[in-house]
Structure 1
Amino acid sequence: MKPIVLLLFSFLLSQCGPTKSAQTASVPAPGGPEGLKAKVNSDVPQFTDEKRIGDIMGFLASDDLKGRDSGSEGIEKAAQYIEDFLQSHQVAPYYESYRDTLSNYKRTSYNVLGVIEGTDPVLKNEYILIGAHYDHIGIIKIENGDGIANGANDNASGTTSVMELARYFGTKRTNKRSLIFALFSAEEKGLLGSKHMAKNMKEEGLNLYSVLNFEMTGVPLRGKDYLVYITGYKKSNLAEVSNAYAKENLVGYLPTAREYNLFQRSDNYPFYQEFGIPSHTFCTFDFTNFMFYHRVGDENELMDFQHMATLVNKLIPVVEGISNAPTQVVKMN
């Protein structure tokens, strides 16, 4: 996540997966009282699991990648890993190759992006972008003998979620609209990867419908009646649409996200600026449930892989629903 003002750390210092139900029922409105258990839909695909999630995370957040700083040898390994993954699951390169070289960063850096063409002859001309940044901040000040900022939560977690969604749609081909899967570099340098991509896609005349971005999804929220929140909640009806397709109270409103202006701090924002479309970030970091933002302690051992798998599985019918609706159901407010 793009660096947040120092107020975050004072907030953190002041602070110290949902259980599957057998029923689907009416649910409280998003943003309801904390401590309320959400009724959940048990009829969800079990496509991924904690082992698959853990295997991907185990590579992306390993010491071998040295914190995935943009332009480094470590992030080069991550880029190759993501390319191989997309290719092995029938996700085609978006351009001539999977790599999109940044024009706005001094060190050679790449976005990695693939595309799955929609199955409908008309709707395939509309695109949904599903993204996450795969860079982190590299080697930083040593703490307890460790200087590698592995970036497990920020943002190997979001990257893994996008990769598993790409695997699903690459193998199942259930999308009528076309899906772009984008892994951004240089987010930590000021959203440079997504700025580069959004500008180019706008100039290319891409018919972009919406952006679903993923950021810091490695640990579950606590005491909420929803599994995940979106930034810019009130800017569109995405939460309402998502909950309808999920058949449960999946996506909620986190007031703190507005307080810290998170809508403008991740890779959804450049697309909102360029295209003026629904463009949001899905996140489960709420400033109280994870204490190692931009620190060497952001390690895999603190991640909840079962929570991550649950989130991916529950979002599959959401992405399918948005992709396959006869008309564009996600609209700006």
Structure 2
Amino acid sequence: MKKTIYFLFVLFLAQQASAQDINKIITREYVDRLIKTLSSDEMEGRATFSPGIDKAASFIEQEFKTIGLQPLEGQTGFRQSFEKDGKPLFNVAGMIPGKSKAREIVIFSGHYDHLGIIKAEGQDSIANGADDDASGTTAMIALAKYYKALNNNERTLIFVAFTAEEIGGFGAKYFSQKLNPDDVVAMFNIEMIGKESKFGKNAAFITGYERSDFGKILQKNLEGSEFTFHPDPYPEQKLFYRSDNATLAALGVPAHTISTDQIDTDKLYHTVKDEYSSLDPENILATIKGIAQSAISIVKGIDTPTRIPKLKK
């Protein structure tokens, strides 16, 4: 009995220390700097094949280097380069090798491309893509910083900013060809977390919630916290198939997208008004911390989500 009480006390202290650590590691100032930079006019909307997306990639590379991530196996740098129709494309990817379960992979992702220069509204023609998806890319980078600082991941963690999501998901498709999907335990794809969800504060939804027990595991790890995850409230939008999780999900990976966007009423989606000034920074911060806490048992190799049935060819 005494041993049990002691164990629970130690576990409580560890949870408290982790909560304190995350508030020091993932700060409002840090998150703001990331998203403001990625959605700045200097990035020119981060269109695929543009100078702006190259600037964004360089910024993400520098952040990965500062955090201390390693390039993926077989890569000499963080750019995962390939071609589409004879033109160069590149994901930006880094990793934290796992300890006891290094062959098992957990992926955190967001797409860093957007629409670039589009039809002007007034004097503005830059589709900055602050919510779509500078917010998700910011979350991915912040989570890399957090887990690198914790240094307790038993599984290998891969952090990837996908390119060309807006024109067909080509970055995610290429990425999926470079690993064995059977080695991927889970994928946390993060898209549009810049505004409060229809469930209110401290809440997000998971696409394809019913397809695996991924969401149930995340919610279990959030017991005692204010944050909650919910099934996708917009099934008619088919969001599960509209982001970079879809490619790996089709191969059987518990690959889901986490979002807070009220897509059925979002009037700024794919417009020049999707700028930092339209976002709720506290929502972004709370969602990142919620993901960080909810993923911990998967990162540590304690929980393994059930597989998603592979799509038949």
**RCO greater where, 1 or 2, for CA within 8 Å and sep 6 or more?**
1
Residues 1:292 and 2:272 aligned together: no
Calculate percent identity across the aligned residue pairs. 30
Query: SS of 1:84's equivalent?
Result: helix
Structure 1 residue 330, shift from structure 2 partner: 4.6
Ranges in structure 2 where 5+ consecutive residues have no aligned partner = 1-15
Question: SS at 2:48's partner residue?
Answer: coil
Partner of 2:149: 171
Give runs of aligned pairs for residues 61-76 of structure 1, distance below 5 A.
Answer: 61-76=39-54
Alignment length (residue pairs): 286
Matched residue, 1:308: 284
Deviations 1:127-168 (A, max 9, x none): 011111000010000001110000000000000000000111
1:71 Cα deviation from its structure 2 partner: 1.3
Does residue 1:264 correspond to 2:263, yes or no? no
What is the CA-CA distance between 1:89 and the residue it aligns to? 0.7
In the alignment, structure 1 segments of 5+ residues that lack a partner are 1-40
Contact residue 133 and residue 155 of structure 1 kept, 8 A: yes
Q: Deviations over 1:16-63 (max 9, x none)?
A: xxxxxxxxxxxxxxxxxxxxxxxxx9x944232322111111110000
Change (3 A) 1:149 1:314: same
TM-score, normalised by the number of residues in structure 2:
0.86
CA distance in 2, matches of 1:255, 1:197: 29
Letter in 1 for 2:66: S
Task: Work out whether 1:80 is the aligned partner of 2:94.
Answer: no
Q: Is the CA contact 1:219–1:289 (under 8 Å) kept in the aligned structure 2? A: no
Q: How far apart are residue 124 of structure 1 and its match?
A: 1.4
2 CA distance for matches of 1:139 and 1:299?
Answer: 14
What corresponds to 2:93 in structure 1? 113
Q: Answer yes or no: is the 8 Å Cα contact 2:26–2:142 preserved in 1.
A: yes
> Is the helix fraction higher in 1 or 2?
2
Report what 1:4 is aligned to: none
Q: Structure 1 residue 74: deviation in Å? A: 0.6
Correspondent of 1:103 among 83, 87, 102: 83
When normalised by structure 1's length, the TM-score is: 0.81
**RMSD over equivalenced CA pairs, Å:** 2.0
Partners of 1:241 and 1:198 lie apart in 2 by 24
Q: 3-state DSSP class of the match of 2:92?
A: strand
Change (3 A) 1:106 1:137: farther
Following TM superposition, by how much is the alpha carbon of 1:209 offset from its aligned partner in structure 2, in angstroms? 1.4
Secondary structure at the residue paired with 1:259? helix
The answer to whether the Cα contact below 8 Å between 1:68 and 1:138 also exists between their aligned partners in 2 is yes
Residues 320/250 of structure 1: CA separation in 2 closer, same or farther (3 Å cut): same
Structure richer in strand, relative to its length = 2
Question: CA offsets per residue over residues 147-190 of structure 1, 9 Å max, x none?
Answer: 00000000000000000001111222121100000100000111
